[in-house]
């Protein structure tokens, strides 16, 4: 077994690998970019090596620097995690060329499955069912559009390299095919360095079910049952579970047999996942699933498999990479209960899941869930920053229980008790999804979230009670660690009655005015607004409403939703809001494409430019009719709030 390994990754997966390595007595080396100098995985590892600037292309994708770090520290093997270099066969060959072990499959296996079109041709030869589509080399618009017409709309354009929903477009109308193809190719080029795509028939009622497979260097291959990953937004998974709801024994046998057959066809060694698209229009059936792709690495959602099987997949990876046979045969692998995982992201679900940034001034997870097992895989800790350079995942919450109903309720309960302040997160959305009638009943398909997006992302308005608690919490002399106790700060003698303290908070663009007085019993009496006759709201020191104070803000938690208000500095006048008719960047990013010019007349909803952030493209459209006065230039790197477009005055 290895004595020391280097982890060529960051965040949650780096932390995950470090934990298992530590249990096995293996020393770990972390690598980090400028943006991750103080990151949790750096703090946890036995050693850490700086590998470059914040941009992934200059750090976590710099294979030569990572290999050099392994050699400098005496590491014997490199664990790639997922993403970055995990499915790069050239990197594997470089690792092995200098005498190091790669904790993953061979470069030949990665190449065989790394390009979706070639993989599907290989699977057809191996007898694995494949989705109807075009997987050839021709990439000309006319040829691909012709193939799409032959297949029949709707079709799915997919990047032949990579995954995670990047470089993917659903096209229902032939007229939209050219623009969708161009966008998919641009996104694929940016994310994977390969703009080539394939075109497939889009399954109308699709479910995404995948099988965890494992092989060793002795010719053995097994499956560890299936996972359902149908709950997706923008083709990216948000909730995964094992086993798949509604899975019968015959369909499971057919699907897992096909997965093992696929792994054996390429002499696969290590952890891998065979992903299937399933036609769920008539329930799960043995003849209604097709191979989509193979991920030749550990999956983000691997914890649900670990929870139902009791197997540490990272430990298996390390043992197999060191040359050991698989620790168990197929007959020795069993599944128990049900596990569900939710991905906690820094993103704004109310703004079509735009990635968010910020410092995690307050981060708290529940310690347990009644009647179930709770696991939290987090790559960050309180005080860490979510930057625009990498995937905005904060943590994964996984719950295992005897039944699916108990697991769903346990996870929803855990999410409701999770507290995050300092960045917008998707906790409320996840909880509403778990309690959605169709999801709870197992009526899953990949379009469920898009179909119900408005209901799933609508946040209940802040109630007066919560506003009053926020006012009370910020009535001391400061916020953050130096905050004074508001129940002691609001005091003093008034000759004609209790002293009235005026407070102002800001909810979005609205000012919340309040008058606060101390009662004789130590509670605070709070009147919102200027109505003298308004009934006061009494807030006591033991009020159960959960709040977090952080510099310049207060966050009130209501279930899984977090509502944040700004606390103006009482010693400074509020800045006047910036005037002008303009569009600002919703997040830091790169201006990828500009589709308008100065003096152009544009219509409401017309695309003006494409902003690339966190490897995804976001189209910025005109909010109204107007004439462009200024517009950002292609290739410009912009910060959150930077002006992208300014319109001429109406007159």
The two three-digit tokens of residue 240, written as one number: 């995964």
The two three-digit tokens of residue 440, written as one number: 């709870």
Task: Report how far residue 356's alpha carbon sits from residue 587's, in angstroms, rounded to the nearest whole number.
Answer: 7
Q: What phi, psi does 78 have (nearest 5°)?
A: -125, 125
Task: Report how far residue 99's alpha carbon sits from residue 111's, in angstroms, rounded to the nearest whole number.
Answer: 21
pLDDT of residue 477: 53
Beta carbons of 115 and 161 less than 8 angstroms apart: yes
Beta carbons of 105 and 272 less than 8 angstroms apart: yes
Whole-prediction pTM: 0.82
SS3 (DSSP) at 501:
strand
Tens of pLDDT along 309-343? 999 999 999 999 999 999 999 999 999 999 999 99
Beta carbons of 358 and 558 less than 8 angstroms apart: no
CA torsion sign for 361, 577, 590, 301 is positive
The two three-digit tokens of residue 263, written as one number: 């792994």
**Among all chains, which residue has been given the structure tokens 């996942």?**
273
SS3 (DSSP) at 264:
helix
Q: Does residue 252 have an active-site annotation?
A: no
Q: Count Cα neighbours of 421 within 13 Å in the Cβ-side half-sphere.
A: 23
pLDDT of residue 577: 35
Long-range CB pairs of 281-286, under 8 A, 24+ apart, other chains included: 281/204, 281/205, 283/246, 284/207, 284/209, 284/244, 284/246, 284/247, 284/248, 284/251, 285/251, 286/250, 286/251, 286/253, 286/254, 286/255
118 has which bridge partners? none
Residues of the chain where predicted confidence (pLDDT) is lower than 70: 476-485, 488-498, 569-580, 587, 614-615, 640, 650-651
SS3 (DSSP) at 52:
strand
Q: Which of 196, 207, 297, 319 is catalytic?
A: 297
- Closest listed residue to residue 468, CA positions, set 419, 515, 435, 407: 515
% of the chain at pLDDT higher than 90? 74
Burial class (CB in 10 A: 0-12, 13-18, 19+), 568: middle
Task: Report how far residue 350's alpha carbon sits from residue 348's, in angstroms, rounded to the nearest whole number.
Answer: 5
pLDDT of residue 423: 95
Strands (E), 402-480: 419-421
The two three-digit tokens of residue 35, written as one number: 């943006």
């Amino acid at each position: 077994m290895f004595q020391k390994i280097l982890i060529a990754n960051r965040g949650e997966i780096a932390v995950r690998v470090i934990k298992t390595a530590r249990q096995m007595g293996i020393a770990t080396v972390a690598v980090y970019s400028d943006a991750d100098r103080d990151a949790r995985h750096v703090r946890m590892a036995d050693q850490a090596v700086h590998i470059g600037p914040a941009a992934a292309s200059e750090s976590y994708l710099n294979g030569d620097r990572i290999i050099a770090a392994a050699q400098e520290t005496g590491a014997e093997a490199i664990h790639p995690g997922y993403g970055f270099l995990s499915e790069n066969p050239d990197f594997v060959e470089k690792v092995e060329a200098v005498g190091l072990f790669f904790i993953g499959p061979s470069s030949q296996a990665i190449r065989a499955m790394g390009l979706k079109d070639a993989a599907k041709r290989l699977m057809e030869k191996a007898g694995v069912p494949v989705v109807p589509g075009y997987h050839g080399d021709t990439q000309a618009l006319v040829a691909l559009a012709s193939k799409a017409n032959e297949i029949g709309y709707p079709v799915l354009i997919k990047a032949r390299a990579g995954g995670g929903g990047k470089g993917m477009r659903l096209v229902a109308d032939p007229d939209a095919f050219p623009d969708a193809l161009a966008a998919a190719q641009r996104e694929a080029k940016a994310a994977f360095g390969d703009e080539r795509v394939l075109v497939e028939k889009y399954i109308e009622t699709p479910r995404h079910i995948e099988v965890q497979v494992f092989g060793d260097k002795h010719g053995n291959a097994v499956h560890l049952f299936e996972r359902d990953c149908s709950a997706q937004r923008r083709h990216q998974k948000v909730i995964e579970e094992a086993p798949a709801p509604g899975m019968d024994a015959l369909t499971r046998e057919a699907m897992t047999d096909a997965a093992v057959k696929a792994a054996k066809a390429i002499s696969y060694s290590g952890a891998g996942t065979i992903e299937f698209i399933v036609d769920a229009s008539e329930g799960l059936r043995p003849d209604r699933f097709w191979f989509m792709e193979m991920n030749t690495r550990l999956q983000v959602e691997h914890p649900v498999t670990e929870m139902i099987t009791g197997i540490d997949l990272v430990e298996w990876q390390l043992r197999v990479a060191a040359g050991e046979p698989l620790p168990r045969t197929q007959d020795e692998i069993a599944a128990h209960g049900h596990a569900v995982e939710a991905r906690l992201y820094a993103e704004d679900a109310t703004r079509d899941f735009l990635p968010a940034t910020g410092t995690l001034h307050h981060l708290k997870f529940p310690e347990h869930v009644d009647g179930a097992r709770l696991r939290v895989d987090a790559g960050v800790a309180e005080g860490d920053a979510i930057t625009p350079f990498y995937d905005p995942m904060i943590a994964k919450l996984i719950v295992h229980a005897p039944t699916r109903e108990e697991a769903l309720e346990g996870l929803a309960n855990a999410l409701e008790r999770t507290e995050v302040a300092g960045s917008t997160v998707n906790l409320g959305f996840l909880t509403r999804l778990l309690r959605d009638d169709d999801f709870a009943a197992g009526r899953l398909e990949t379009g469920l979230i898009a179909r119900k997006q408005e209901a799933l992302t609508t946040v209940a308005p802040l109630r007066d009670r919560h506003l009053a608690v926020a006012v009370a919490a910020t009535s001391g002399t400061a916020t953050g660690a130096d905050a004074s106790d508001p129940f002691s700060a609001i005091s003093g003698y008034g000759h004609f009655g209790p002293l009235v303290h005026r407070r102002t908070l800001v909810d979005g663009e609205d000012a919340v005015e309040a008058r606060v007085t101390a009662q004789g019993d130590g509670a605070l009496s709070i009147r919102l607004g200027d109505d003298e006759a308004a009934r006061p709201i009494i807030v006591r020191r033991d009020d159960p409403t959960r709040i977090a104070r952080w510099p310049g803000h207060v966050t009130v938690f209501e279930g899984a939703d977090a509502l944040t208000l700004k606390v103006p500095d009482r010693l400074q006048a509020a800045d006047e809001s910036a005037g002008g008719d303009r569009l600002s960047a919703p997040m830091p990013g790169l201006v990828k494409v500009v589709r308008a010019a100065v003096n152009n007349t544009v219509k409401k909803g017309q695309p003006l430019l494409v902003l690339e952030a966190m490897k995804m493209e976001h189209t910025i459209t005109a909010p109204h009719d107007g004439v462009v006065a200024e517009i950002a230039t292609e290739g410009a790197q912009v910060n959150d709030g930077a002006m992208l477009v300014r319109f001429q005055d109406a007159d």
